[in-house]
Structure 1
Amino acid sequence: MRTSISKTENLRALIDGEARRAGFDAVAVTRPDAIPLAPARLAEFVADGFHGSMGWIAETIERRAEPSMLWPEVRSIVVLAMNYGPDHDPRKLQARRDRGAISVYAQNRDYHDIMKGRLKEIAGKIVAKAGGDVKVFVDTAPVMEKPLAEAAGLGWQGKHTNLVSRQHGSWLFLGTIFTTAELEPDTAEQDHCGSCRACLDACPTDAFPAPYRLDARRCISYLTIESKGPIPREFRDKIGNRIYGCDDCLAACPWNKFARTASEAKLAARADLREPPLAELLSFGDAAFRSFFSGSPIKRIGRDRFIRNVLIAAGNSGDAALAGAVRALLGDASPLVRGAAVWALSRLLPDTEFAERAATALATEDDMTVRDEWLSAQPAKVHA
C-alpha cells in the first residue's frame, strides 16, 4: 500500500513541477464524476435557448456534461490554469471612441496554440512515469473546464459564470489533461462571491437573467464573435467600441485586486492590438485582415464579421471623420458589411445627405437585409 501511495505522490510531484516549468500558474486534480450538478445546469441552459446559434453545445450535450461520456477510460483529470491578467483596466478604452476595444484574451497569440503544446509535453511525462493513456483538451472539445476547475479547487464559477480565483481574479485560461492514472483529488473550492453583484451590474446588455446564469444571445462576446448575421439593433448602441468580445463583467470582479499581471511575455498584449484606430481597421480587405491577425484568435471569425463589428463601433463613435471610410464599404461584396455600413453611416451623416444616399442605394440594392437596413436606419432620414 505504501508503495502505491508513493507512486501516486511522486506522479503528482512530477505533474506540479512540469506545470510550473511549462509556465502554468496553477494546477489541481479532480475526478471525472466530480461535477454531478453540471448536466442539469447545462440542460437548462440549452432548454432556455441561452446558447443561441451555438448548435454544437446542444449536439454534444451528453458528452459535454459528463467527462466519462467523452472518454470512459478516464480516471483522473488534471486541470491547469494560466494567468492572463492585464496591466490595466480594459474598460478605460471605452472612452476613446475612435479606437477599437479588443477583449484582453485576444490581444496576442491564440491561447489554444500557446497552451496545447505545453499540455502535451506534460501529458507525455505522465505516460512516461505512470504508463496508461492521456488526452489533452483546451476549450475545443466538449469539456466543461470551469466546473472541473472548481471541483479541482482552482477557483469557483462566479455570478458571471466564469472562473474566479482568490489568487488570479477572473483572468485565467484553462486546459485539462484526462489520464487513466489514479491521482488523489484536490479539495473543491467554495463560492466566495457573497452578496457582490459587480459583474452583473457591469454588463452593458443585461445578459445575466439571474446570478450564475448567462443568456449568450445578449452577451457582447457572443454577438461580436459567435453570431454570424447582423447584430440585432437593440444591442448596437450598447456595444460601444467593443469590436471583439467584452471584458466588462471580468474586469468588474473585486477579486482582481489580487491578480498579477500576466507572467508570460507571450500573453502580454500586442502593442497594435491594445487600442487600434477604427479608421485603419475599416480599410482592411481579406488579405490585410489575415496578415494583421495572423496567429490571433480574431482571425477565426473572418474579415466580414470583423468589419461588421468595426462598423458598429464607427457608428457609435460620433466621429464624422470616419464617414469616408464607412461610405467606401457601402459597395462591399459582403451584404453583412454593407448592412453594417448603412447603420454606421446613418449615425455619422447629416439627415439630408443620408436620405440622398439611401434613395440612390435603394434603386440598385437587391439584398433584402441591406435594403432593410436602409429603410430601418432612422426612417425619417430616408423618407424626408
Structure 2
Amino acid sequence: MSYPLDLNQLAQHIKQWGQSLGFQQVGICDTDLSAEEPRLQEWLDKQYHGEMAWMARHGMMRARPHELLPGTLRVISVRMNYLPAKAAFASTLKNPRLGYISRYALGRDYHKLLRNRLKKLGEMIQEHCTDTNFRPFVDSAPLLERPLAAKAGLGWVGKHSLLLNRDAGSWFFLGELLIDLPLPVDSPQGEQCGRCVACMTTCPTGAIVEPYVVDARRCISYLTIELDGAIPEEFRPLMGNRIYGCDDCQMICPWNRFSQLTDEEDFSPRRQLHTPELLTLFAWDEATFLKVTEGSAIRRIGYARWLRNISVALGNAPYEEQIFVALRARLGISAMLDEHIIWAMEQQKIKRAAQGIEVLNSQQNRLVRAVEKGLPRDA
C-alpha cells in the first residue's frame, strides 16, 4: 500500500480532524494487549462478570483487536466529555424522594453519536488513503477499550477500573477506530492514583474488591442495568435512590476536580430525568416510559426493570402513606417485580412502625418533663 502523506503528518491530521468532530482527545496505539489476557481470564474465572455471558463468550478476543477486523494494525482511541452543567449530584442523592440516574444517561444515547463521528473520521482518513479499511466501535464489540485508551495515551486505568485523565478526570466516553495503517503510536501515561483508595472505600456495595478489580455482581450499575432478574436482597438497602447506574466512585475521585463540562447539546439532561421524583417516575405507564426514554440509553433496560429499580428506591425512602399505596397498586405486573414491591412495602412498614415508636417516645418524654416540673400532665 502506498501512502500519499507522510504517516507522522497523517497522524497529526487525524488528531486535528478528531477534535474538529468534537472529540477532546485522540490517541493511537498498536493492537498488542497480550499483557491484559491473564488479568481478563482471572476476572472471568472468578465469575466477576455475573450474568454478562457475552463477556465470557468472546473470551480473549476482547484483547485481540486484529481478530475483529483482520489486517488491523492500529487502534485510534478517542474520548468525548459528557458531564452536563448543573449535574446536581449531591442535591439528588441526598433527597431520598428523588431518583438518581447516572449522569452519562441523562441525555441522548452516546453510542450512535460517537459511532457516527468515528465513521466520519474514518472517511476523512479514506479520502487521503483510499485503500484503507477501518471499523468504528463504541461498546459495540468485545474490545478492552480502557486498556487500549491507556495505551494510546488518553490516560490511565484507575483503581475503580475507569480511565482517568489528569486534565479531564473521568467524565468522558470512549470510542475506537480500528484501521490497517501503520501509524506512529503515542506513549502511555503513568498511573497516578498513588495511595489513594477513595473510590474503593466510598463504593456503597464494596464492588471494588481490590485495586483495579470490580466484581460486577456487587456493582450498582450492573444491578440496575445489566441484571435481568431479582436484585439480591443484601444490596437493596445499599442502593439508596440510585435507579439507573451509580457515579459514586467518580464523584469521590480527586482527579475529577479537573473534569470538563460537555458542550454537546445531545448530552444535556432531559427535564423528566433530571432530579425526578420517584413517585412521578413510578406512575409512568409503559407508553410514557418509552416516549420519555426514546433515544436514551435507559430504554434498553425495559419497563419492568425500570419499575423494579424504582421499587427498591421507594423502599429505601422515608415512610409516606402515598408511597405504600403506590407500591401496592403496582402488584401483579410480574412475579419478578412483585418480589421487589413486596420487599419495598415491608421496608415502608418497618419505617412506619419506627415513626410510631418515635412519636410515642416523644410523648412520654414530654410527660416525664412535665411531671418533673410539677406541670399539668397535658402541658
CA contact (8 A) 1:91 1:251 kept: no
Whole-Å Cα distance in 2 between the matches of residues 23 and 261 of structure 1? Answer: 13
How many aligned residue pairs are there? Answer: 349
In the other structure, the counterpart of 1:225 is 225
Deviating more after overlay: 92-101 vs 172-181: 92-101
Amino acid at match of 1:243: I
Query: Could you tell me which residue of structure 1 aligns to residue 123 of structure 2?
Result: 124
Q: How far off its partner does 1:16 sit?
A: 1.5
CA drift of 1:259 comes to 1.1
Rg larger in 1 or in 2? 2
Per-residue deviation, 1:92? 4.0
Partner Cα separation in structure 1 for residue 323 and residue 311 of structure 2? 10
Q: How does 1:204-219 map to 2 (within 5 A)?
A: 204-219=204-219
Give runs of aligned pairs for residues 216-365 of structure 1, distance below 5 A: 216-320=216-320, 321-332=322-333, 334-349=334-349
Check conservation: 2:241, 2:316, Cα contact below 8 A. Answer: yes
User: Is 1:63 aligned to residue 61 of structure 2?
Assistant: yes
Paired AA for residue 15 in structure 1: I
- Indicate conservation of the 8 Å contact 2:84/2:267, yes or no: no
* Distance across 2 between alignment mates of 1:351 and 1:219: 26
Q: CA deviation at 1:13?
A: 2.7
TM-score, with structure 2 as normaliser: 0.88
Cα RMSD (Å): 1.8
CA distance change for structure 1 residues 89 and 276 in 2, over 3 Å: closer, same or farther? closer
Q: CA, structure 1 residues 5+28, in 2 after alignment: closer, same or farther (shift >3 Å)?
A: farther
Counterpart CA distance in 1 for 2:227 and 2:133 is: 37
Relative to structure 2, which stretch is displaced further, 343-352 or 286-295?
A: 343-352
**Distance apart, 1:201 and its partner CA:** 0.9
**Which amino acid is the alignment partner of residue 53 of structure 1?**
E
More displaced stretch, 294-303 vs 61-70: 61-70
1:22 deviation in Å? 1.1
Q: Which runs of 5+ in 1 are unaligned?
A: 354-384
The answer on whether the counterparts of 2:318 and 2:351 sit within 8 Å (CA) in structure 1 is no
Shift of 1:319: 3.5
User: TM-score with structure 1 length normalisation?
Assistant: 0.87
**Runs (5+) with no aligned partner, structure 2:** 354-379
> Residues 283-303 of structure 1, C-alpha deviation per residue, up to 9 Å, x if partnerless?
122211111111110100100
Aligned to 1:102: 101
Q: Distance between the aligned counterparts of 1:227 and 1:54, measured in 2?
A: 8
Pairwise CA distance, 1:86: 4.0
Aligned to 1:202: 202
Query: Where do residues 147-226 of structure 1 align in structure 2 (5 Å cutoff)?
Result: 147-226=147-226
Structure 1 distance, partners of 2:352, 2:100, is 31
Alpha-carbon contact 1:91-1:247 (below 8 Å) kept: no
1:137-165 deviation digits (Å, cap 9, x = unpaired): 00110111100000001000000000001
| Offset, 1:331 | 2.5
Q: Is the 8 A contact 2:168 2:258 kept in 1?
A: yes
Kept in 1: contact 2:3–2:129 (CA 8 A): no
Alpha-carbon distance in 2 for matches of 1:352, 1:4 = 74
- For residues 20 and 304 of structure 2, what CA distance do their matches in structure 1 show? 40
**Further displaced range: 257-266 or 198-207:** 257-266
Q: Aligned equivalents of 1:229 and 1:273: distance in 2?
A: 24
